Structure 1
Amino acid sequence: MTPCKTTMDYGMTPITTTESLQELCTRLSKAEFITVDTEFLRDNTYFPKLCLIQVADDHGAHAIDPLAEDIDLAPFFDLMSNESVMKVLHASRQDFEIFYNLTGALPKPVFDTQIAAMVCGFGDSVGYETLVTKIVKAQLDKSARYTDWSRRPLTETQLSYALGDVTHLRDIYRHFVAELDRTNRHSWVEEEMAVVLDPSIYFIEPEAAWLRMKIRTNKPRFLGVLRELAKWREIEAQTRDIPRNRVAKDETLFEVAAHPPKNADYLDKIRGLPKGFSRSRAGKSMLEAVQTALAIPDDQLPKIEKVKPRPATPPMADLLKVLLKIKCQETGVAPKLIASSQEIDAWAASPRREDVRPLKGWRRQIFGDDALKLMSGNLALTALKGEIDIVELEEDNE
């Protein structure tokens, strides 16, 4: 078998043939881990358009051109599903969306350095550039940040910029593995990775599309029409691979739902729909969606609870947030991983709830148990010389 070329052999020439890609992936399949990143566009499409794949191991970094005419990405996707090779990414959700939409599956196993950073004291949602600066002690070239990655040929500057997203990631990964070994927190990262590996995150079912809209009324018939319109729009956008707002904006769907058209001519009077829309295929299918909704029996229409005014934040929530900040500073964990501000507010309002995130898994050890003590009066926060101290109180057994 011909030895696989190294990065030095490739220079700045992307892989553009299936044969070369298979050769690379065969070698990478023997690696302990690989680092992966993608460049994509989605300004004019529903699904992100994959424009470049960057991958690296200890022997080099490589750019793969998915837009090349003579390339089949199957070897790469086989590599991404190879369970003997760890895939390392940073802020992986957008990459996962691409892989899921192209293959119907997600890579495994995977390690997200942004999640690891949150566990290891780098705060919430830290950027890749920050990790490169603090861990690798290097500076990223920003000159190609706003590249149109769909245009060919790519310059050496653009390719160098893109490969920088996987070369430094090798050292960052090793740093976090060592830190997680030291602190025995690998399971914490694995728990968070399970969240981002939920396939439901990466595909919107048309039937549920209306639930993502900011609805200002709870009238059942309006909701029934809106649900069918949102479903129609999602199917149109997915089928035509265009942004949903290019099909119809939310405001347009709200207007149609509020004043359902009885015939096609009415569609041409709706602001936000193009002239002649009523005679188009999309116009006819939109009208069919409205008619379907109008035929739904009253007892089968969707309902949503009227949003109640948010009560004032209980003082206990403020104390819990102070406790959370102290605990996170002590352990070097990003507060976002344990609980959001909204979750703390809700818990403080209903302190007997057990189905809260701070009481699950490792979060309970870090924060949850002490939070329960604080709410039950068995723990106090005191101020001394400008510092906040945690004082555990003796239980009153009388």
Structure 2
Amino acid sequence: MKQENIISTTEDLKKIVNKALKLDAVGLDTEFVWERTYYPQLGLIQIALSDEECYAIDPLSIKDLSPLGELLADRNTIKILHDAPQDLIIMSQATGATPQNIFDTRLAAGFAGSISTISLLQLVSEQLETELDKSETRTNWLKRPLTEKQLSYSLNDVRYLRATRVILLSKIIGPKIKSWLQEELNLLNNPANYSTIADESRYKKVKGVNKLDRKSIGVAQEIATWREQKARELNRPRGHVIKDDILLEIAAIRPTRPEELANTAISTKAAERYGNDICQATARALNKKEVDLPHQQKRSQLSSQEKGALAQLKELITLKCDILGIDPALLGNSNELKKIIQTLYKGKTTHMRQSFGWRKEFLKDFYQIHRDTI
């Protein structure tokens, strides 16, 4: 790997960005470590101006990444990434910019006869008959100097993105499907994608929380909120503060005194360190009025008629997607399809992406038929 392919100063970064802004599209990727910290640690940013002209931007050497932010926010140059959301969040946090005009090759694959969950390794092999080396997947991208093998590996992750985009677009059946893809890609321009989930809503991510009663869910909410703030303060993974299963166990017994934590699986060290904070969080929840507590999100069962309609919906999606060359998974996961049926038959008003845009257009005949027969 040539030394000139490594960008380690803001001045050199500006030069590369100025070249990029004159192009129709560039490839982007990041390498990061996210194991023992709350925030992902950015180790490398790769950019491809062409198949041959690729650079590794060293964020550990460059303190001012604002030129990269200018490229991210530019509405004219297309930024091509594979499985874009996580990379965009990290680059947005590093630059303060809101990404615009993004092309996600993984998403596009789902509209071009492949699957929307395909890896870059599989996609490049499938579309370009080129095999990527993934031996450096678990490498430490924060260690310096990077080896020749690491640099070669990282740049190959962007080298083929421009060509892959061209091929995928050529395989999409007709302008309507391309407009559906563009509608999905436009969602990546939304600043809300790059803001974090509110601390108060983090409890919803704790698996099994809805098995608790409502008051204990309120306790889980307060403890999860406190845990998020503590993890951020310490820059440690939230599970290093308290693991989810222990959080649920604590919420179930609603401790008001630190000694009560002895009845849970929390470590002695964590109980001594966080016992008072946990009990204060519990007290905040127990002092709330019933109306202010979060509700249990219980899954309702479908009737036999609704199960039949769900089977018809899945069959329609599979058949239509096969004709159009679209991955059925793009229409929605199992829970989303179930919610469609509940909305039609039970009149539940839930915000669903299947109720607007291209998905609504795709499903309009099914909606009409079942509204007429209910």
Shorter-chain TM-score range: 0.7 to 0.9
**Counterpart Cα distance in 2 of 1:319 and 1:309:** 17
In structure 2, the partner of 1:336 is 329
In structure 2, the partner of 1:256 is 250
Per the alignment, in what secondary structure is the counterpart of residue 160 of structure 2?
Answer: helix
In structure 2, the partner of 1:94 is 86
The worse-fitting range, judged by mean Cα deviation, of 334-343 and 155-164 is 334-343
Query: Is this contact kept in 2: 1:83–1:109, CA < 8 A?
Result: yes
In structure 2, the partner of 1:35 is 27
In structure 2, the partner of 1:132 is 124
Larger RCO, structure (CA 8 Å, separation 6 or more): 2
Structure 2 gaps of 5+ residues are none
Question: What is the identity percentage for the equivalent residue pairs of Structure 1 and Structure 2?
Answer: 31
The worse-fitting range, judged by mean Cα deviation, of 341-350 and 157-166 is 341-350
Query: Is this contact kept in 1: 2:26–2:47, CA < 8 A?
Result: yes
In structure 1, the partner of 2:115 is 123
The 1:315/1:233 distance shift into structure 2, 3 A limit, reads: same
Instruction: State which of 312, 315, 319 in structure 1 corresponds to 2:312.
Output: 319
Cα offset, 1:33, TM superposition: 1.2
Cα offset, 1:232, TM superposition: 0.2
**Counterpart Cα distance in 1 of 2:146 and 2:169:** 34
Per the alignment, in what secondary structure is the counterpart of residue 231 of structure 2?
Answer: helix
Paired letter, 2:316:
L
In structure 2, the partner of 1:3 is none
Per the alignment, in what secondary structure is the counterpart of residue 271 of structure 1?
Answer: coil
Per the alignment, in what secondary structure is the counterpart of residue 185 of structure 1?
Answer: helix
Paired letter, 1:257:
A
The 1:371/1:19 distance shift into structure 2, 3 A limit, reads: same
In structure 1, the partner of 2:104 is 112
More helix per residue: 1 or 2? 2
**Counterpart Cα distance in 2 of 1:237 and 1:118:** 36
Query: Is this contact kept in 2: 1:267–1:273, CA < 8 A?
Result: no
In structure 2, the partner of 1:385 is none
In structure 2, the partner of 1:235 is 229
Instruction: State which of 79, 82, 86 in structure 1 corresponds to 2:74.
Output: 82
In structure 2, the partner of 1:271 is 265
* TM-score, normalised relative to structure 2: 0.86
Structure 1 gaps of 5+ residues are 1-6, 378-398
Larger radius of gyration, structure 1 or 2?
1
**Counterpart Cα distance in 1 of 2:367 and 2:255:** 54
**Counterpart Cα distance in 2 of 1:311 and 1:64:** 56
In structure 1, the partner of 2:59 is 66
The 1:153/1:311 distance shift into structure 2, 3 A limit, reads: farther
The 1:260/1:347 distance shift into structure 2, 3 A limit, reads: closer
Cα offset, 1:144, TM superposition: 2.0
- Within a 5 Å distance, the mapping from 1:295-310 to structure 2 comes to 295-309=287-301
Per the alignment, in what secondary structure is the counterpart of residue 142 of structure 1?
Answer: coil
Give the total of aligned pairs: 366
In structure 2, the partner of 1:395 is none
Cα offset, 1:309, TM superposition: 4.3
The worse-fitting range, judged by mean Cα deviation, of 152-161 and 180-189 is 180-189
Q: Tell me, yes or no, if structure 1 residue 148 matches structure 2 residue 144.
A: no
The 1:266/1:364 distance shift into structure 2, 3 A limit, reads: closer
Deviation string, structure 1 residues 285-320 (Cα, Å, up to 9, x no partner): 333222322322344333325444455562232233
The 1:276/1:323 distance shift into structure 2, 3 A limit, reads: closer
The 1:121/1:269 distance shift into structure 2, 3 A limit, reads: same
Query: Is this contact kept in 2: 1:124–1:335, CA < 8 A?
Result: no
Per the alignment, in what secondary structure is the counterpart of residue 282 of structure 2?
Answer: helix
In structure 2, the partner of 1:247 is 241
Deviation string, structure 1 residues 330-385 (Cα, Å, up to 9, x no partner): 110111222333333444455466976556433455443256448868xxxxxxxx
Deviation string, structure 1 residues 105-158 (Cα, Å, up to 9, x no partner): 431111111111111111231221222122222111233232121211111111
Paired letter, 1:208:
S
Cα offset, 1:267, TM superposition: 4.2
In structure 2, the partner of 1:206 is 199
Paired letter, 2:312:
L
The worse-fitting range, judged by mean Cα deviation, of 287-296 and 194-203 is 194-203
In structure 2, the partner of 1:369 is 365
In structure 2, the partner of 1:53 is 45
